[in-house]
Amino acid sequence: MLLRILFMCSLVSSVVVSVDVKESVEACNFAAIYNFGDSNSDTGGISASFVPIPAPYGQGFFHKPSGRDSDGRLIIDFIAEKVNLPYLSAYLNSLGTDYRHGANFATGGSTIRKQNETIFQYGISPFSLDIQIIQFDQFKTRTEQLYKEAKTALERSKLPVPEEFSKALYTFDIGQNDLSVGFRKMSFDEMHAAMPDIVNQLASAVKNIYERGGRTFWIHNTSPVGCMPVNLFYKHNTPPGYLDKAGCVKDQNEMALFFNNQLKDRVIKLRTELPEAAITYVDVYAAKYGLISNAKNEGFDDPLKICCGYHVNDTHIWCGNLGSENGKDVFGAACEKPSAAISWDGVHYAEAANHWVANHILNGSFTDPPTPISHSCYRH
């Protein structure tokens, strides 16, 4: 009940802030969005680079696989809708791309720090954040050259206007896979010791964009990773204290919170280092954990059950894959009502949950400063 009261109070206060901002200042007119991240915001990068994400991914909103790890839209898609821009084409796409209003450098499995393993081992992308920033540098240089050389308006129509890179929104949603790798390879003490370097590398990426003219940054912290059902698939008879009150892995969520606290402190420092930047820290963790803790009252089913895939006892068949149980073929199909699901496949959120989270962060309810994304270009 206390969580519910505090949650509602935060919503009320955010509405007041949003109204005050809208009455006093015009909304930002973002020319484009450039996104950096992992599968939480990948709109086709990993599918373009390796094996395409299969059906039933994308079955809801797009009615076909769309390169997204969900049945429909991701938070980045709702961000685009909110600021009246098209959905982002993945930078790594070679066909059907339109970069006039931005590009997406995120790929599923990406980390902030480079990892010494291939995607075929544990699903870690080779496109770590530093590589994504290098790709952005190449993109900016190349498109500026092509724009200058273009002879007609039609040639320029799918290219960003060079002067508009400074008027773009730069979004970051990455770090979750750094924690996942850490849980596999390091002790908790080692993970704590690694956090400053991980966070500093994210800050370096922001600085790089700033040096190239970027001024508005929207930075998500990491999710409550201990609440991903995949972390509970093979956990039987867990000891007392292993799970928290929401049924999530307590130690993993505590590590996520440690990362988030380090990130927030680094963002505060960045604001003094980058005097012309407007940097918003987005507490996605709080929004997602609030939804998971109060799923039933928000109209959702059990947040720790998957919608897509097959999991019975110790048999798990990933969403969209064909497997076997007791000699019989079993397909990892979707549930009957994805609109009531929080977890789509055990790691990623269903569209309805993404939409809920987007609604609660884009109005400033879970941001520092408490400003809606429509006014995030203003420095506070």
Q: Which alpha helices (H) appear in the chain, and where do they start and end? A: 2-24, 45-49, 75-82, 119-122, 129-149, 153-156, 176-185, 188-211, 250-273, 284-293, 351-361
Backbone torsions φ then ψ of 34, nearest 5 degrees: -120, 120
The CA distance from 262 to 250, in Å, is 19
* Active-site option among 10, 14, 18, 39: 39
* Active-site option among 348, 355, 360, 375: 348
**CA neighbor of 161 nearest in space, from 174, 178, 144:** 144
* Active-site option among 345, 355, 360, 374: 345
The CA distance from 111 to 109, in Å, is 7
Tokens, residue 157: 């129509």
Query: In the annotation, is 14 catalytic?
Result: no
148 CB burial (10 A radius; 0-12, 13-18, 19+): exposed
Query: In the annotation, is 380 catalytic?
Result: no
Q: What is the CA radius of gyration of the chain?
A: 20
Neighbours of 70 (CB within 10 A): 30
Query: In the annotation, is 39 catalytic?
Result: yes
Neighbours of 149 (CB within 10 A): 9
Residues with a known catalytic role: 39, 345, 348
